[in-house]
Amino acid sequence: MNVQIREVRTDCLPQYGEVPIAFRVESVFRVVAREGGLGGLALREEKLAEPYVKDYDARDFDRPARWGDEFDMSEWGILMAFDGQEAVGGAIIATRTAGLEMLEGRDDLAVLWDIRVHPDLRRSSIGSKLLHCAADWARERGCTEMKIETQNINVAACRFYAKHGCELRAIDCNAYASCPDIAHEAMLLWYLDL
């Protein structure tokens, strides 16, 4: 396999979205307060009695092809990994976008908006290459940090980010309280110094 990563335009978002992002949730990181929170928070992995499949693209408005309807993507980077002509992965980086709260009003912060690798090719270093290319893309545009959101139900992603030097700096157990189907999930915010 000879995977090449290329930057593409927004008209490739439908093809980008054809790479499945779903994964099987077999364990979660439970957020545990030490000493009532004064001793900090800890993540404790717990196996689930009933595993399930999580698909971030399950809701139509969350699909990549729709992101341009909600956001001005002119300052975003879209990277795709190809094996020949077949899309096998991708990463999207957001920068300098008015109204995108994840950017904290900073011009030197990038957000890794999305990263995905075809399920048959996970753990084959494509994700690592995409993360590295995303960091380079952001660094070349003057960013000093990259912010990444994931959830406590995505244990593999958490381990991946920690392995690649990202630092967990925030946990919000109530971030999704207004969304009943995901209210049980905790938001984890990782930062990578560039």
DSSP 3-state assignment of 48?
A: strand
pLDDT at residue 62 in the model? 77
Cα Rg of the chain (Å, integer): 17
pLDDT at residue 4 in the model? 97
The residues, ordered by sequence, that sit 6+ positions from 136 with a Cβ below 8 Å of its Cβ are none
pLDDT at residue 15 in the model? 96
The pair of structure tokens assigned to 27 is 């364990």
pLDDT at residue 59 in the model? 78
pTM to 2 decimals?
A: 0.95
End-to-end CA distance of the chain: 29
C-alpha distance from residue 89 to each of 50, 121, 124, 175 (Å): 28, 9, 11, 28
The pair of structure tokens assigned to 176 is 């999704």
pLDDT at residue 37 in the model? 87
Domain covering 3-193 in this structure, CATH number: 3.40.630.30
The residues, ordered by sequence, that sit 6+ positions from 70 with a Cβ below 8 Å of its Cβ are 61
In whole angstroms, give the CA distance from residue 16 to residue 13.
5
Question: Mean pLDDT in each 10-residue stretch from start to end of the chain (194 residues)?
Answer: 94 96 97 91 96 90 87 97 96 96 97 97 96 98 98 98 98 95 96 98
In whole angstroms, give the CA distance from residue 81 to residue 102.
25
The pair of structure tokens assigned to 192 is 């990578």
* Angle, CA 175 vertex, CA 139 and CA 49 arms, to 5°: 105
Name the strand (E) or helix (H) holding 163. Answer: helix 155-163
